[in-house]
Every structure is written in structure tokens, then in C-alpha cells.
Structure 1
Amino acid sequence: MANFLVYYGTGEGQTAKVTDRIAERLDERGHDVTAVNASKSPDGISVTAFDAVLVGASIHGGKQQQAVVRFVDANRDALATKPTGFFQVSLSSADERGEAQAAGYVDGFVSETDWHPDRIGLFGGALRYSEYGFLKRLVLKQIAKRALPDTDTSRDVEFTDWAEVDAFAADFAAFAEGRLGVVPPVSDPDGTREESDE
């Protein structure tokens, strides 16, 4: 099977949760997955040891994490030789009204890095009011009331559509398998994996 790298930046943990879910789905298909948090990894990580690469980032203040931007800049040439994907987690993707804004963040990232991933996924983030300090909680409640008027700001809210995350992971895995000439395992009715005879 293939060796996947998922390199991600996370601000408050939702992108890490999305990364874990994607890694689980790739693992279920029989692939080896290495997830690397941009804030905890050495800058010198290389993509050459991996068959396929996913990069994930969250949006804060209209930008993705600088560590993610630096990673893509440093590895742009190697990324161009592999199946790649990019996923972004933001409140803009929480509902249809913010789709254009979320897409604009991706366009800005692509323009800044001059990297053109093969697959792109946009996922809603989360508001964890219980974890914020007073001022941040107040500011985010005001933003949520304007951007997401139907949202209950009295409790933590998760906007991630996990079915979309699963579909993105499956699509990227199938794309990478096709590019790499890897045949995914066939599942038995009892849920166990068998290697395909094809």
C-alpha cells in the first residue's frame, strides 16, 4: 500500500480532529499514514519519503498558519511530483453563505505558495466558547451572531460535516491509488480486509 503524509496546522484543535478522521479513513484502506502537526514538527521535514501528501490548515484572521505556508514553499517542487491535496477548516465553511469567502482563502493560499493541489476540501470548523477567555468569547459570539445567526452562542458548537470529511478522504485515496498504481484491499462481509487478486 502507499505511504501518506498529512501535514497540518491547527489553532484550536478542530483541524487536528479532521486530520485524525482522514488518517483513520486512509488507514482503513490499508495505507500507512503519518500525521504531523506543523507547530510541533521540525521545519526540515521532507516529503520525498512519502507517496502522497495532504496538507491541512485552519483559518484565523483570514490566513492559514505560516508554518503550513513555509512547509509548502520549502517542498513545492517535491509536491508537484506526487498526488497531493489540501483541506481547510474555517467558520466560513460552516454554511453556504460563507462558501465564497472560504474559497477565497484557498485562492489566496494557492496564489501565495504557487502550489496547485490535486484535490481540495473545505470543512466547517468549531466554536469552543468554553475554552476561550472572556474577551475572545465575547468577540467570537458577536462574529457568530452576524455570520451564523441561527447558531446557539450559549454552548460549544461543531460545524464539521463528518460525512464530507469521509468523502474527501475516500476521493483523495482513490485518486492517489490510481496515480500510484495501488490496488486498495477488498473488504469481506465481516469487515476484515483482504488484498485484491486483481
Structure 2
Amino acid sequence: MATICICYGTTDGQTAEVAEYVAAGIRELGHVARVVDLKDPADVALDGVDAVLVGASIHMNSHASYVVNFVKANLTTLRSLPSAFVSVSLSAYGDPARATGYIEQFCAQTGWQPNASIAVAGALRYTRYGVVKRGLMKQVAREKNLSTDTSVDAVYTDWDAVSAFTRDFISKIAVRT
């Protein structure tokens, strides 16, 4: 049984949902999963874990600086353990090349080369946005041919792909532990 720490940074909550979904999949496979919101770095302890998965959302064309800083500060540990990166963005739904570019940008910025990575489509959380952000996101959605119905949230995450990624990552850890 392996212990996996899932550290994430989220803007509107979809990356948190992805992190919890990954954790549930890890637990179903018989392992221990700890989920940590990187906005509260006091809760982050990587000692005693067998693997680390980092999740981060894209906002304004980049990942949150506090996630970048966490990876830089823990680079030695991340390099010594099996690790994975999950990048959550709307680009992963309609523009996979751009979504892959965000992962490459993150790796170059941090110096980290995770053992596995995936670009996961995010969501339009219209019901969580304020008036200004709702309007801006509706414009972005219109340009990308996504839902512009602001009365409901639109989730584009491919949960089957997230499950497959989780199972694959865990199978590689199980071989090492």
C-alpha cells in the first residue's frame, strides 16, 4: 500500500474536484491518498509519502504562482519520488496543443519533469463567478464555442481520462514500492 500526496491549486474549484476524484480512485485501488490545498502551505508535508501528484489550474494563461513556488521549493523531493502533474484548463477541451504548451511552460518554469502529466479540461463555473467575471468568461466561452448559459455550470472534464491516468500512475508506483 502506497501513500500518495495530492497537492493542488485551484482558481474556481474544478482542480479541487479533480484532486478529490483522483484521491477517490487511489483509495479504491487500496492506497492512501492525502489531498492538500496549496493555498495553505502549512498543511503540506511530503515526508513519508511514496508519490506526489500536483494539480494546478490555468488562469490568465498561467498556473498559480503559489503552485510554481511549491514545486520549486520541493524540487529535490519531487525528483526523488514518482510524481505526476495535472494541468486543468478550458484549453484542454478545445485546444489540446495549447494545453500541452501550458504543461511544458510549467515544467520549464519550475525545473520539474514529472514522471507523468495530463492536461484535463476544466469547467465554466458561472454560478460561482461575480458579475464581471461571469461576463468575461461568457465572452471567452463564446469565442471557444462553449456554453454561454450563465444560469448553470458547464463541466468539460473527461472523468474517464482522469481515471485512466490515475490507474496508470498508480500501477507504476505499485511496481516501485
- 1:68, CA displacement in angstroms? 1.1
1:42 alignment counterpart: 42
1:10 alignment counterpart: 10
Alignment of 1:116-135 (within 5 A): 116-135=113-132
The residue type paired with residue 74 of structure 2 is N
1:102 alignment counterpart: 99
Distance 2:49 2:171 in 1: 16
Distance 2:166 2:147 in 1: 30
Distance 1:49 1:72 in 2: 17
1:156 alignment counterpart: 153
TM-score (norm: length of structure 2): 0.95
- 1:74, CA displacement in angstroms? 0.9
1:188 alignment counterpart: none
- 1:40, CA displacement in angstroms? 2.3
Q: What SS is found at the alignment partner of 2:62?
A: coil
Q: What SS is found at the alignment partner of 1:178?
A: helix
- 1:153, CA displacement in angstroms? 0.7
Distance 1:133 1:79 in 2: 36
Distance 1:177 1:14 in 2: 28
Q: Once the two structures are superposed, what CA deviation does each residue of 1:33-61 show, in whole Å capped at 9, x if it has no partner?
A: 11000112318x34232111100000001
Q: Once the two structures are superposed, what CA deviation does each residue of 1:146-198 show, in whole Å capped at 9, x if it has no partner?
A: 12x1x331132000011011001101100111122xxxxxxxxxxxxxxxxxx
The residue type paired with residue 31 of structure 2 is H
The residue type paired with residue 143 of structure 2 is R
Distance 1:20 1:46 in 2: 18
Distance 1:76 1:130 in 2: 36
- 1:67, CA displacement in angstroms? 1.5
1:113 alignment counterpart: 110
2:27 alignment counterpart: 27
Where do 5+ consecutive residues of structure 2 fail to align? none
TM-score (norm: length of structure 1): 0.85
Mark the structure with the bigger radius of gyration: 1
Establish whether residue 90 from structure 1 lines up as the match of residue 102 from structure 2: no
How many aligned residue pairs are there? 175
